[in-house]
């Protein structure tokens, strides 16, 4: 039985598995609070592997005093609270790359009236010189 399995290294889990080789009736159990999305526990939990039975005991399946939960939320912060009480691992934060940013980068705005010659592209003024890396490195 691997307790706190999310915090164990993949190498340790790999070393545990062959221990059942001569005991086909033996079961390999992992117990853990969620931690990250790339640890051995979560990768099995999140996989489609039907050979695993998944049992969940989180604050939405077990009754806890709501006031107690609210105090815990305030004390731990949102991320740690979700991890400890709802089994939501770290890394659940959404990527900052939103679709709106992509749309903005691909949107082509065509002005109804074409710009005149005064809006022709200008030449950039020379700024502060930067050392040539081809000369400065040994």
Return residues touching other proteins (CB under 8 A). 36-38, 43, 46, 79, 90-99, 101-102, 104-110, 114, 121-124, 130, 132-134, 136-138
In the complex, the smallest distance separating the C-beta of residue 31 from other proteins, rounded to whole angstroms, is: 21
Provide, rounded to whole angstroms, the least separation between the CB of residue 8 and other proteins: 17
CB of 61 to other proteins, least distance (A): 24
Distance CA 30, CA 7 (A): 11
Nearer to other proteins, 25 or 103 (CB): 103
CA–CA separation, 23 and 27 (whole Å): 9
In contact, 80 and 90? CB cutoff 8 Å:
no
Residue matched to tokens 């598995």: 17
Show contacts of 69-75: CB within 8 Å, 24+ apart: none
Q: Closer CB to other proteins, residue 18 or residue 129?
A: 129
């Amino acid at each position: 039985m691997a307790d706190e399995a999310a915090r164990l290294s993949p190498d340790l889990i790999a070393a545990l598995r062959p221990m059942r080789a001569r005991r086909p009736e033996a079961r390999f159990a992992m117990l853990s609070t969620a931690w990250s999305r790339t640890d051995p526990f979560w990768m099995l939990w999140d996989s489609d592997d039907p050979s695993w039975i998944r049992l969940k005991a989180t604050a939405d399946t077990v009754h806890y005093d709501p006031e107690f939960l609210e105090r815990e939320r305030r004390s731990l912060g949102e991320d740690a609270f979700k991890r400890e009480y709802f089994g939501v691992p770290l890394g659940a934060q959404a990527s900052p790359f939103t679709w709106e940013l992509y749309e903005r980068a691909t949107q082509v705005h065509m002005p109804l009236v074409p710009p005149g010659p005064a809006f022709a592209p200008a030449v950039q003024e020379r700024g502060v010189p930067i050392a040539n890396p081809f000369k400065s490195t040994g």
